Amino acid sequence: MVSIPFLRRWLHTEKEGLDYFTCASVYDSSEAQRTLQASGIICPDFRHVIQTMIRYYRNHKDNVAKQIPIQ
C-alpha cells in the first residue's frame, strides 16, 4: 500500500523507512559514553530530551525546507 506515491507523500515517508518502525531494537551507548567521558560530555537520557524533540517537530513540521521530498 505504501508503494502508492500519494500515500507516501501523505505519510511523509518513503516505504523503506517503515521498516524502522517494525524493528525491535535495543541500543547500547556504553562505548560512546566511555569515549566521551574524558571530555566531560554526557549523553542525556531520552526521557530528558523527548519533549524538546516533540517541540521542534511541532514548530517545524510544515517547513518544507526541513523535509525530504517524497517521490
- In this prediction, residue 60 carries a pLDDT of 93
Task: Please give the model's pTM, rounded to 2 decimal places.
Answer: 0.57
Rounded Cα distance, 13 and 5, in Å: 10
The SS3 assignment for 67 reads coil
- Domain map (residue ranges) of the chain: 5-62
pLDDT in tens, 26-67: 889 899 889 999 999 988 889 999 999 999 999 998 998 988
The predicted model gives 12-21 an average pLDDT of 77
Rounded Cα distance, 65 and 46, in Å: 26
pLDDT at 4 over 90: no
